[in-house]
Amino acid sequence: MVSMIASLRGVLVAKSPNQAVIECAGVGYDVAISVATFSALPKEGAEARLHVFTKVAEDQLALFGFAELDEKRLFERLIGVSGIGPKLAITVLSGIASERLVTAIRGSDHASLVKLPGIGKKTAERIVLELKDKLDDLQGFSTSSSDSGPASLGAVADDALSALVNLGYARPIAQKAVEAAIAKDPAAKESFEALFRAAMGAIR
């Protein structure tokens, strides 16, 4: 029987928007992470701690790490929905802020959910149906939580931010690029294509 790993604390050897390597007692653990967790991690070489979900499949052991316990709980809710595995759940959490995801589920906002990679209409409907009344214990993601990102700039800005995050850019970098593009040309936020291209140019 394989022991489940619930948390890791050690030296952060490497990190990228979807992966982190933490060395504990001489062993380096490869952990899949969301963009939100990537942004919360310290610099490489510093001590880091992650809440961990362990998936065992045949001869493979996969670890999924989270900076916040509520994000792990939300992840566990997502993989409990038919058709959503751990990899897709991490992708979803990278494509939208956890607070906005919880708000969308509670508000039956299928339109926002289907914009996420890998989430079709039927899957969005299942997510709302199965999770709408099962998120009350996620205190950190209450509907009153504020999001200081581009959400306040409108739906087009939200879509551009999600698209950049899905391409692998860290959320803080993508957010600054979107804000910079709008500041340079306010009219850009009226067109997804124009704003996305302008934001890409701001990153480069």
Please write the tens of the pLDDT for every residue from 113-137: 998 888 999 999 999 999 988 887 7
Specify the amino acid at residue 110: H
Contact of 131 with 123, CB cutoff 8 Å: no
Cα 15 to Cα 38: distance, rounded to the nearest angstrom: 7
Least confident of 7-11, 58-62, 125-129, 142-146: 142-146
pLDDT at 151 over 50: no
Whole-model pTM? 0.69
Name 116's Cβ contacts closer than 8 Å, sequence gap at least 6: 91, 92, 95, 96, 162
Residue ranges of domains in the chain: 7-66, 69-141, 150-203
pLDDT at 24 over 60: yes
pLDDT at 145 over 80: no
Name 68's Cβ contacts closer than 8 Å, sequence gap at least 6: 36, 37, 40, 51, 98, 140
Q: What pLDDT is recorded for position 169? A: 77
CATH topology of domain 150-203: Helicase, Ruva Protein; domain 3 (1.10.8)
Span 163-180, pLDDT tens digits: 787 777 777 788 888 889
DSSP3 helix / strand / coil % (the chain, rounded to 5): 50, 20, 30
Residue 180 in tokens: 């910079």
DSSP state for residue 68 in the 8-state scheme? S
Average pLDDT, the chain: 85
Q: What pLDDT is recorded for position 140? A: 58
Q: Please identify, in words, the CATH class of the domain defined by 69-141.
A: mainly alpha
State the CATH architecture for 7-66.
Answer: Beta Barrel (2.40)
Cα 97 to Cα 71: distance, rounded to the nearest angstrom: 10
Q: What pLDDT is recorded for position 139? A: 57
- The 3-class SS string of 89-140 reads HHHHHHHCCHHHHHHHHHCCCHHHHCCCCCCCHHHHHHHHHHHCCCCCCCHH
Helix (H) or strand (E) holding 56: strand 47-57
Q: What pLDDT is recorded for position 64? A: 97
